[in-house]
Structure 1
Amino acid sequence: MSDTAIQRVLIVVNSGPSTPARCAAPFYTATLLACMDAQVTMFLSGEAAQLARAEVADNLYAATDGEPVRHFIQQAKSAGVRLLMCRAPGVVIDESSLIPELDEIASGGELAQMIIEYDKVLSL
Structure 2
Amino acid sequence: MADDDDTRSVVYIQSSGVDTPQRAATPFFLAATAAAMEWDVKIYFTINGPTLLKKGVAENLYVKKDGKNGKGAPLSHFIEQARDLGVELLCCQPSLDLNDLDYEELIDGVKMIGGAAFNSLAAKASAVVCF
| TM-score (normalizing by structure 1) | 0.87
Question: Does the 8 A contact of 2:96 with 2:102 survive in 1?
Answer: no
Q: Aligned match of 2:83 in 65, 77, 80? A: 77
Task: Decide which moves more: 61-70 or 34-43.
Answer: 61-70
SS in 1 for 2:128: strand
Question: Does the 8 A contact of 1:14 with 1:123 survive in 2?
Answer: yes
CA–CA distance in structure 2, aligned partners of residues 118 and 79 of structure 1: 18
The structure-2 alpha-carbon separation of the partners of 1:89 and 1:122, relative to structure 1 and needing over 3 Å to count, comes to closer
The reply to whether residue 36 of structure 1 matches residue 37 of structure 2 is yes
Match of 2:68 in 1: none
For 1:27-82, what per-residue CA distance to the aligned partner results, in whole angstroms no more than 9, with x for missing partners? 00000010011110110111011111013222211113122212111100001101
Q: Aligned match of 2:115 in 100, 108, 116? A: 108
The structure-2 alpha-carbon separation of the partners of 1:90 and 1:25, relative to structure 1 and needing over 3 Å to count, comes to closer
Identity %: 30
Match of 1:98 in 2: 106
CA–CA distance in structure 2, aligned partners of residues 18 and 112 of structure 1: 27
The reply to whether residue 53 of structure 1 matches residue 61 of structure 2 is no
Task: Decide which moves more: 58-67 or 26-35.
Answer: 58-67
Runs of 4+ in 1 over 6 A off after TM superposition: none
Unaligned runs of 5+ in 1: none
The structure-2 alpha-carbon separation of the partners of 1:107 and 1:23, relative to structure 1 and needing over 3 Å to count, comes to same
2:76 alignment partner AA: R
Unaligned runs of 5+ in 2: 66-70
C-alpha displacement of 1:94: 2.6
SS in 2 for 1:46: coil
C-alpha displacement of 1:99: 0.5
C-alpha displacement of 1:93: 4.3
Match of 2:27 in 1: 26
